[in-house]
Structure 1
């Protein structure tokens, strides 16, 4: 606990944690609320999954471009612009869906909202990468745990609002939270003091090709594709069990397991190398997801989701630490936006594939099996040989032990 107190006392830490939490809530609310809203209007999980995927892919395409711009000019003007645009575009999306607009119109509105998604996550992680190295690992652990807590509160809010009122209200609330979070991070002391690091002019994908980055990003893509399939499968599972209101609760239980694992992991100092920690934690996630396709009881599913979720926040903590260490110093925000991009984009693709599997002959079990397969592929990717990454130590770079 002392380690977390030390992080909390860092300059701007409370603002980054609290505003970052509010600004990230829409990422857990909008995909699920949009899925439920479109499904209610059209009666199709496939169309609903496609709309959610479109929103995610649009966000994924735009984020690295904005991250690159933030590294060169600072993230503040970008966040301030997005704080105004994102809520308005979410309002447009609600109007189109509830107005029973054509499918292509729903997809266009979803894409526009996705492109305006505030750059909160990439900015906050880039700022954490600049704190004292003694606190950086714990800061990333706390950040990952807070992010997982987002997926406890977010789906729970969506579930309550969907049952008590309408999923559209959850989308509207997400717009308000995004406004608060983006403004909070943009006006924080750390963001105002952000000084871009000079670096060479490179191609758009130079950061992605940095030693060590391809394997981290590809393995993260496979993992998040599986998570996207699971996030669609859980509402469908609850619906098939006759308790659609359980979907938010089951997603919250999954994230609570992750929060518990993240808090335990963040207070530990391990001697094992980061790549090895990452590989073992991915294996733990795979083991946790493997039995879900054979479960028929919502309560049994909840127990397994909690237990399997304990490996998620530790995995993301190590993943963030790796990216913060191996990314070029002049492109840290861009590196983290690539990480966010693959998370959102791969999750969106997983949601679309999961929705198609649910409506096909494989049903919900097929989407749950896809979740486990994605994590297994992530483990396999970490075993592929590649260039050894290096980390910054006292201003110089040293190889990361294999």
Structure 2
């Protein structure tokens, strides 16, 4: 039996841009927690550390689709170079500001401009799509990227905090910025695999990809999926602390990602033939059902087991969601469409962390997981109600951007 992952990496240039992209996207996981670790040590106040990190994360979530929209219009190299330069300079200013005790407003401004960092996962998926458009290998490539995303979040956050604690407060952010510079430069220099700039399809408006119904449905559903991730993390930290084993939180959260990582690789190798919209409905349904055991896990071993099981459908959800975007969004809007979905995940994580924190504070640690259950049900309802639209073709999606004729 052939190895599908060996096959996708046998294509010329695939190993190069994938390796460069892995390092270039590490800051996605390293920067938010790195800002907290850095400022909490240099300022001694968690509120400002969290606020600056939130400004960065939320601004990046809102700006990334606009940057990706420009990438679709002008090309990856033309946009990634200037936006990355702005982000790097802003990160350097933030690091210096933390070290030199600059006023709070300077830290917020630096974080705001650092959010110009482009969406590397979207750029990677665009390159895979250029290589394997409308071929089964694309599903394997998307499976690999989803697994790599999981690995980035596992390794990146731990590395950032570990460096800040073991060396000096700014160490995590400094290494994150170096990864951004080196990884992005290596990625951009590989011009042979850069997607061609495609002109807008005939009859398609210049509007944003978020106006497309498939993008709206998937993005909204993944807002709730993202909130499930954050809820699981917040609740796991609260429960392990309540049980007197706070150090077990990192183990529990790591198990959550490992389950997703393994299943994602398996799905990519199997490459199921079922329609993607049905696969997505099954994946979010599994997410919703497997969230239920979390509400009754009252020991660390039970919590770890329940979290592992609840994580098995994360990568399949991502794989099918991005696969649907590739098939339902006009080629000239692909990068922006992928980025909107990732923005939905980011917004969901921010909202989920806030809501779960409020529930834990007011009703107890165990009740935090009920937020995951509710969010899971909401994601199932959205994907189920959108099956007809998600089953449509790329042409139908493109036509939805056309202005409606007057009555």
| Structure exhibiting the larger radius of gyration computed from Cα positions | 2
**Alpha-carbon separation, structure 1, partners of 2:304 and 2:99:** 32
* Shift in CA distance, 173/101, structure 1 to aligned 2, threshold 3 Å: same
Distance verdict in 2 for CA 1:170–1:373, change over 3 Å: farther
2:221 corresponds to which of 215, 219, 222 = 219
Cα deviations by residue, 1:152-201 (Å, 9 ceiling, x for unpaired): 21233235335434564222222111222212221123454x32111167
Residue segments in structure 1 that go unaligned for 5+ positions in a row: none
Structure-2 separation of matches of 1:43 and 1:375: 37
Q: Distance in 2 between matches of 1:352 and 1:166?
A: 29
2:73 is equivalent to residue 72 of structure 1: yes
CA drift of 1:129 comes to 1.8
* C-alpha separation in 1, matches of 2:160 and 2:235: 16
**Contact 1:151–1:252 (CA<8 Å) still a contact in 2?**
no
Match of 2:183 in 1: 181
Cα distance change of structure 1 residues 148 and 184 upon mapping to structure 2, 3 Å threshold: same
Rate the CA distance shift 1:189–1:347 in 2: closer, same or farther, 3 A.
Answer: same
**Which digits, 9 at most, give the CA deviation of each residue in 1:116-165, with x for residues without a partner?**
22331111111222223131111111111111111221233235335434
Cα deviation 1:354-394 (Å, max 9, x = unaligned): 44445x323544543323332221111112257624335xx
Report the secondary structure of 1:208's partner residue.
Answer: helix
| 1:202 aligned residue | 205
Q: TM-score, normalised by structure 1?
A: 0.85
- TM-score if structure 2 supplies the norm length? 0.85
- The alpha-carbon deviation at position 112 of structure 1 amounts to 2.5
Aligned match for 1:255, one of 254, 257, 264: 257
CA 1:350 to 1:99, structure 2 compared with 1: closer, same or farther past 3 Å? farther
- Secondary structure of 1:212's counterpart equals helix
Kindly state the Cα deviation for residue 245 of structure 1 after the two structures are TM-superposed. 5.0
In 2, are the aligned partners of 1:232 and 1:351 still within 8 Å (CA)? yes
RMSD of the alignment, in Å?
3.0
The aligned residue for residue 61 of structure 2 is 60
Whether contact under 8 Å (1:293, 1:366) holds in the other structure is: yes
* In 2, Cα distance between equivalents of 1:271 and 1:221: 27
Task: Quote how far apart the aligned CAs of 1:99 are.
Answer: 5.9
User: In structure 1, what is the equivalent of residue 382 of structure 2?
Assistant: 381
| In the alignment, structure 1 residue 139 sits paired with structure 2 residue 141 | yes
Within a 5 Å distance, the mapping from 1:2-401 to structure 2 comes to 2-38=3-39, 49-97=50-98, 106-114=107-115, 116-132=116-132, 133-165=135-167, 168-192=170-194, 194-199=195-200, 202-205=205-208, 207-238=209-240, 245-358=247-360, 360-385=361-386, 388-389=389-390, 390-391=392-393
How far apart in 2 are the matches of 1:251 and 1:20? Answer: 24
**CA deviations over 1:213-248 (Å, ceiling 9, x no partner):** 221111011111222333444445555555555444
Q: Is contact 1:16–1:185 with CA below 8 Å preserved after alignment?
A: yes
Distance 1:325 1:222, change over 3 A: same
Q: How far apart, CA to CA, are the structure 2 residues paired with 1:357 and 1:92?
A: 36
**C-alpha spacing 1:166/1:249, structure 2 compared with 1 (3 Å):** farther
CA shift in 2, pair 1:185/1:196, >3 Å: same
Distance 1:74 1:184, change over 3 A: same
Q: Which runs of 5+ in 2 are unaligned?
A: 399-407
Secondary structure at 2:130 match in 1: coil
Superposition deviation, residue 14 in structure 1? 0.7
Following superposition, the deviation at residue 296 of structure 1 comes to: 4.2
Quote the Cα distance in structure 2 between the aligned partners of 1:81 and 1:248: 36
Which sits farther off after the overlay, 36-45 or 261-270?
36-45
**Hey, what does 2:403 align to over in structure 1?**
none
Offset of residue 106 of structure 1 = 4.5
Q: Secondary structure at the match of 1:195?
A: coil
